[in-house]
Structure 1
């Protein structure tokens, strides 16, 4: 079936949502397929929500129907397929981000996308990389193609996502209009428009996957006890529940950890990055160096901010505080405090069992390797993903590429207790963007695990600020 990409402004419902004592009236434009030839139309669609006040000629804060920023939220987690959402309560019964964005005066867009494990009618895998980022780009093109028919400022599209969705938000922000994606967009029948955006909000981005294993071991090497939550199915009820899983790495995993840690300094040094003062960010062969101090400084900033907000650090002997200022932190003790979550390798598993292995499959192969290291250590007879497929999923490969129209603003949040990926991953992303003159608001909120959308007032304040600028 071929879909029409012209937005119909008369096809809407006026809906009301109430939560936490707040009432919201909005226009709902739902189930909008954003490509002409979708392979999975139940995912390749979006919902657009506009405050009804704008149709009554009113303003919300500094915004009206023409100037309101477009808050583009993806629903991708674990690189799985995601469907569009509605304003209201989330799965925890709390007010969701779409509701809050509308209440603040934004045009709220929830966009779905294909993801790993998704199969077509012929049984082929249709959600492998780069399907998810291609879909987000197609959604942006749909919005810009219909800019005169949809409320809001299409010059101020701000993407938002968490985890794999945060990685895609970063990738969307970096790769605007890059020709690497053009053939995939043409195949799907994307609108003839641009796909660059104004800003990217990235919560705990699981990105830079081909270097994620070495970054993880640079941080967690030597800490072999792991603990994480593990999903199992209850034999009596059939319901899936999360239970703690603990263990210790095998001798073989410890050996791979040692080998991967050694590889990380060469990667960092090859980036030739500098900090805000112009100092080179490097690592010695043992993993120490100015880049480690750079990450440590970000941790100390996190501690300082938490102290000023009332957190008591008297029970943390590895944090040195003098006269109300965090002056030092024992980085190794900090890592031990966080604990290891993933076994080695963390992302490109030698048995091809991770979500990322599935992300880099192809139409006929469910899972593949995406690092030379894991291919050489493969226990599943795995094959290697193509270089182009791997390249298209990493924003680091496009930062500084003059072919891209990169967003001028990024906001990156990586919880200081997050163990799903190394802190080095977000630190490198932030440093690389800043070196290109891009404004980056980067912080490691103390005590927060792998999560997102936990500081919406601050996020919205940031959006309002960059839109005023």
Structure 2
């Protein structure tokens, strides 16, 4: 929607400029969804030697009936230049895309993010701060998580959708173009970024959104950025054993919450005989699933697996690794220490995927996501308000070792998987996608992101998909490339 700079200035004078010492939380604690009533503070930060000035609207509750007002809030940041009719990198108050990053990790509760320094990336300016320096309006929403009774699936995706609806409902009242919302997230946050994109305007979430009093507006978005997305949870156990079957030593990641920050710690071990048996049972299930998807590569060739897990799909994933390795060779890097690569005259001629899996190393015990003893974080994700943890696959329910275990309902499992919506008439998915998964990522099988990218491409979406060399399970490590992509797609129709 078109909005004029004078109107924005008037709104600022009425509600924002007199509130430079306003409290951290905005005026919408009672569920008032009118952005024009929000107060702001003027803030600034240094990015690459330049001072970035912006207005901060923080602590806005984005639904009328919040289930948890601590997390169901959104922080909105607007470059100061837009309040004086200025422009940044060609963007104005009318045309600036809205960068929509989430802070979700491990499907834990997450508060709305803030511009600042990223501890994960050597205290460099975080993605939100870089976005402001490049002229984006930034909106970061908090969301409920699995550790709370009201944070089970699909709470987090419902919250993000509600936040998008808030932005669209207030498009006339605030700077930025709500028709060009670009989501971003890492790990579980990457999965939710993808799910947010794939399920735009789907009626499957309507009841949940109405219960919260979400704004009466659409929730489709313009583009998706997803780092190491943990998607397709109901088939991820099969995928993991397809890749790591036969690799019995592991360094398992223990994820806990410490002072509202996700703490990740590696614990070494070796698979037990029972776990090896589970791995041997899971691996053969994956080929039938892959074959049922009828995916094709960029040349239109069918991606399939035989009963042993070999075939064109495996070659396709190996090819993704080869492309990453080739980029390193072209940059002058010596890769002779990688025994899973065959290199001749500076070119990658073959990838031994089984040797790659062994070199990368197993990180999870089988089943990787739906643990038979209900010990995985995803078991808690698929719990209910009264049952903390549940199974969400038939396989793990059949092999259950936990007393009194129950199975999540099929509809909840469905609405947490973006693959169920891509290419369907049930939802409006964006054209533009960027997916990054490092070659040193062991949190889920490389097959999972390869399937997501292939299905998107097969249904006509534009997908920038790559496996950055030696990058572990992480995100926002290539902000120059991310924002170059965002600039390119924002200029597209």
| Structure 1 residues 232 and 167, CA gap change in structure 2 (3 angstroms) | closer
Measured after TM superposition, the shift of residue 308 of structure 1 is 2.2
Q: Secondary structure at the match of 2:342?
A: strand
| Structure 1 residues 37 and 106, CA gap change in structure 2 (3 angstroms) | same
Match of 1:257 among 279, 286, 292: 279
User: Which position in structure 1 is the counterpart of 2:127?
Assistant: 97
Give the distance between the partners of 1:427 and 1:453, measured in 2 at CA: 20
Give the distance between the partners of 2:310 and 2:43, measured in 1 at CA: 56
User: Which position in structure 1 is the counterpart of 2:163?
Assistant: 139
**1:70 and 2:98 matched:** yes
Q: Secondary structure at the match of 1:8?
A: helix
Measured after TM superposition, the shift of residue 306 of structure 1 is 1.9
**Could you tell me whether the CA contact under 8 Å between 2:97 and 2:178 is conserved in 1?**
yes
User: Which position in structure 2 is the counterpart of 1:117?
Assistant: 147
Match of 2:406 among 383, 390, 393: 383
**1:34 and 2:57 matched:** no
**Could you tell me whether the CA contact under 8 Å between 2:106 and 2:255 is conserved in 1?**
no
| Structure 1 residues 295 and 42, CA gap change in structure 2 (3 angstroms) | same
Give the distance between the partners of 1:458 and 1:311, measured in 2 at CA: 20
| Structure 1 residues 243 and 144, CA gap change in structure 2 (3 angstroms) | closer
**Could you tell me whether the CA contact under 8 Å between 1:9 and 1:149 is conserved in 2?**
no
User: Which position in structure 2 is the counterpart of 1:454?
Assistant: 477
Q: Secondary structure at the match of 1:312?
A: coil
Q: Secondary structure at the match of 2:86?
A: coil
How many aligned positions are there? Answer: 459
User: Which position in structure 1 is the counterpart of 2:19?
Assistant: none
User: Which position in structure 1 is the counterpart of 2:11?
Assistant: none
Matches within 5 A, 1:298-337: 298-337=320-359
Structure 2 unaligned spans of 5+: 1-28
Instruction: State the TM-score, normalizing by the size of structure 1.
Output: 0.95
Structure 1 unaligned spans of 5+: 119-124
User: Which position in structure 1 is the counterpart of 2:71?
Assistant: 43
Measured after TM superposition, the shift of residue 310 of structure 1 is 3.2
**Could you tell me whether the CA contact under 8 Å between 2:252 and 2:365 is conserved in 1?**
no
Give the distance between the partners of 1:316 and 1:251, measured in 2 at CA: 30
**1:275 and 2:297 matched:** yes
User: Which position in structure 1 is the counterpart of 2:235?
Assistant: 211
Q: Deviations over 1:405-434 (max 9, x none)?
A: 111111100111100000000000000011
CA RMSD across the alignment: 1.8
Match of 1:292 among 290, 314, 326: 314
Give the distance between the partners of 1:283 and 1:349, measured in 2 at CA: 25
**1:168 and 2:192 matched:** yes
Give the distance between the partners of 2:125 and 2:262, measured in 1 at CA: 24
Give the distance between the partners of 1:309 and 1:42, measured in 2 at CA: 47
| Structure 1 residues 142 and 10, CA gap change in structure 2 (3 angstroms) | closer
| Structure 1 residues 272 and 64, CA gap change in structure 2 (3 angstroms) | same
Give the distance between the partners of 1:413 and 1:350, measured in 2 at CA: 30
Measured after TM superposition, the shift of residue 229 of structure 1 is 4.8
Pick which of 363-372 and 376-385 moved more.
376-385
**Could you tell me whether the CA contact under 8 Å between 2:54 and 2:79 is conserved in 1?**
yes
**Could you tell me whether the CA contact under 8 Å between 2:339 and 2:355 is conserved in 1?**
no
Instruction: State the TM-score, normalizing by the size of structure 2.
Output: 0.90
Q: Secondary structure at the match of 2:57?
A: strand
User: Which position in structure 1 is the counterpart of 2:82?
Assistant: 54
Match of 1:158 among 182, 187, 193: 182
**Could you tell me whether the CA contact under 8 Å between 2:275 and 2:366 is conserved in 1?**
yes
Q: Deviations over 1:114-137 (max 9, x none)?
A: 11012xxxxxx1000000000000
Measured after TM superposition, the shift of residue 268 of structure 1 is 0.4
Measured after TM superposition, the shift of residue 233 of structure 1 is 12
**Could you tell me whether the CA contact under 8 Å between 2:190 and 2:228 is conserved in 1?**
yes
Q: Deviations over 1:339-365 (max 9, x none)?
A: 101001100001111110000000100
Give the distance between the partners of 1:81 and 1:362, measured in 2 at CA: 15
Pick which of 244-253 and 214-223 moved more.
244-253
Measured after TM superposition, the shift of residue 230 of structure 1 is 4.3
Give the distance between the partners of 1:230 and 1:267, measured in 2 at CA: 29
**Could you tell me whether the CA contact under 8 Å between 1:409 and 1:439 is conserved in 2?**
yes
Give the distance between the partners of 2:207 and 2:239, measured in 1 at CA: 32
Q: Deviations over 1:250-293 (max 9, x none)?
A: 01100010100010001000111111111111100000011001
Q: Extract structure 1 runs of 4+ deviating beyond 6 A.
A: 231-234, 239-242
Measured after TM superposition, the shift of residue 179 of structure 1 is 0.4
Matches within 5 A, 1:4-43: 4-8=32-36, 11-18=39-46, 21-43=49-71
Q: Deviations over 1:52-111 (max 9, x none)?
A: 012122211121111111000011100001001211113353321111110111111111
User: Which position in structure 1 is the counterpart of 2:221?
Assistant: 197
User: Which position in structure 1 is the counterpart of 2:366?
Assistant: 344
Measured after TM superposition, the shift of residue 21 of structure 1 is 3.4
